[in-house]
Structure 1
Amino acid sequence: MIKQLPFTLLFIITLKISAQENRKFLYATVNDELGSMPNVHVINLNTKQGTFTNDNGEFRILAKPNDTLRLSFVGYETNNFKIKINHFGIVENKIELKKEVIELDEVQIKKHNLTGSLYADLKQTPKDIAKEKTKSALDFSKINFKESVVSDIDIVARGKAPNMRKETDPTAKFAGVGGGVSSGPDKYSQELKRTRKEINFKENFPEKLLSEFGSHFFFVELKIPKEKYLHFLEYCNSLEIEKLYKNGNILKVINILQQESYNYLKIIKEKE
């Protein structure tokens, strides 16, 4: 058995080399409905060898007739491509990948009386209390900075210096909104930081949504005109998509956008 081992190994290696010699390079291009697709993973299921498409969606791989190529990309259906003898001819091989359809659970949508006009709809949209409080707190128009500040100090309280921040800072009334005055600078700064964070989220929400879902989702699948993108989000805002997104309910946000896009497109078409 020991004497036969080198011959057996040599025989196996010879078979593998022979099998590879029967294969030759197959050239192809991978596309979707918008054009060529880079970085698609391609693997020959028979040889277990793989590669990726280049920036133009092109790739080459060793194969022979009856081999199967598996092509996969995130968000697209996996395509098992069966190789035939004519794929090695002069005809260009084009392989198409289709977008994966995501089935979502049903979501109950509340009725609204929006008309599609941004000016009119904003009047019906519930006001953001935090934003309104912040706006009023930062209004310096009624402050007379030339007027000196004098605090009435009771004889009993002479030993304690007044809190001059509360006396002079026009934003101090913002601290402790909904229940008295803030008891210390830490609580005040935390409240102000939280409000700034909320405002920053609202300002960046459209850009975050476009970055995460992609322009293909809004402008190709939902067919929303690019110039109407912000108006469409405002149209859907009464259904609390910002709150759902912040709480991680991404699928519900997608479901709302998909269902509301039909009504929105119908409204703007009637307006035109």
Structure 2
Amino acid sequence: MKRKLLIVFFLFLYQIGISQTGRFVYGKVVNNEAPIKGVEVISLNTKKNTITDRNGHFSIIVNPKDILIFVSKHYETKRVSLDSNHFENYDFTITLTQKKEQLEEVVITSIATPRFDSQKIVDGSHFYNLQSSPKNRLIYDGTIENGIDFVRIYKDVQKKLAKE
């Protein structure tokens, strides 16, 4: 019984060893010979991914004839098909090009002069002065918070009627 179990175990171990055909591939991602950090490297066959370090280096497990995709926010996406040359060298360099960003159309017009309205200034300062003073909310002072100032409205209406 032990012998049969040992044979099954070694056959299972052999199958696992044979099925692991993936190998590590090392590389560097550059732009104008300057390393690029933060580029995502994705293997399509093994469904593995990694990110380049601050020196632009990466390592990833791939299978023969795999496709690597290099994705970055500021650089064009690049696809590389691996062949036996990449497996023999173990270390290869990928050059990415920067994305060209185009701005939308910009229209320049003359600056319009703002109209001066003194009533808005008076109203604004009056309103903000009331709001800027701290209130003790525990003591009732007879006012309605954010209420209407009927006295001020009455005086404004009187002034308008007096002018006409």
For normalisation by structure 1, the TM-score amounts to 0.36
User: Equivalent residues in 2 for 1:165-244 (5 A)?
Assistant: 178-180=117-119, 181-183=121-123, 184-186=126-128
Deviation sequence 1:21-48 (CA, Å, 0-9, x none): x221101001123611111111110010
Deviation at 1:53, TM superposition (A): 0.7
- Note the residue ranges of structure 1 that are not aligned, 5 or more in a row: 1-10, 112-124, 131-176, 191-272
User: Equivalent residues in 2 for 1:244-255 (5 A)?
Assistant: none
The corresponding residue for 1:19 is 19
The corresponding residue for 2:6 is none
Alpha carbon RMSD of aligned pairs, Å?
Answer: 3.7
Residues 12 and 95 (structure 1 numbering): CA distance in 2 closer, same or farther, change over 3 Å? farther
Q: Percent identity?
A: 25
- Note the residue ranges of structure 2 that are not aligned, 5 or more in a row: 1-10, 133-164
SS class of match (1:89): helix
For normalisation by structure 2, the TM-score amounts to 0.56
Letter in 2 for 1:179: S
Higher helix share: 1
The corresponding residue for 1:54 is 53
The corresponding residue for 1:93 is 92
Letter in 2 for 1:186: Y
Residues 92 and 102 (structure 1 numbering): CA distance in 2 closer, same or farther, change over 3 Å? same
Deviation sequence 1:152-189 (CA, Å, 0-9, x none): xxxxxxxxxxxxxxxxxxxxxxxxx5233513141798
User: Equivalent residues in 2 for 1:91-170 (5 A)?
Assistant: 92-102=91-101, 107=105
* 1:65 pairs with 2:4: no
Structure 1 Cα separation of the partners of residues 130 and 75 of structure 2: 49
- Higher RCO, 1 vs 2 (CA within 8 Å, ≥6 residues apart): 2
Q: Which has the larger radius of gyration?
A: 2
Q: How many residues align?
A: 118
Higher strand share: 2
